[in-house]
Amino acid sequence: MLYLALKALLSGILIAAASTLAKRYPGFGALVASLPLVSVLGMIWLWNDKPDSANMAAHVQATFWYILPSLPMFLVIPALLRAGVGFWPSLGIGCALTVALYSAMVALAPRFGIAL
């Protein structure tokens, strides 16, 4: 239980640091937020829990394929905000688009021999 709390605390500190930085330096905050910190931490936690090379390779490769459908959200949200749409609707639309693209990825990946 302590290990889980440590993982949650460290992950939360990184997210809080990125959002705090973004208040004063939006570009630098975005850089920190864009770093694959969650992925790297996830790999570290997974390796610590289950040091299996084949499992890790499958996890990292699947992570790559899941990143792709999330990218359009980062174009849609700013476009909507600049068009005068409020933050919450823009975020909701961006998240809905991402869920739809994730669903498409899950449905289409096996047809192209991609294991998720």
What digits encode the pLDDT tens for the residues 9-36? Answer: 988 888 888 889 889 998 888 887 787 8
CB neighbour list of residue 109: distance below 8 Å, 6 or more residues apart? 65, 115, 116
Burial label, 45 (beta-carbon count in 10 A; 0-12, 13-18, 19+): middle
pTM score above 0.85: no
Q: Virtual CA dihedral for 53, 67, 115, 60, nearest 10 degrees?
A: 0
Q: For residue range 51-105, what is the model confidence (pLDDT) as tens digits?
A: 999 999 999 999 999 999 999 999 999 999 999 999 999 999 999 999 999 999 9
- The stretch 32-47 carries a mean pLDDT of 85
CA 26/CA 30 separation, integer angstroms: 6
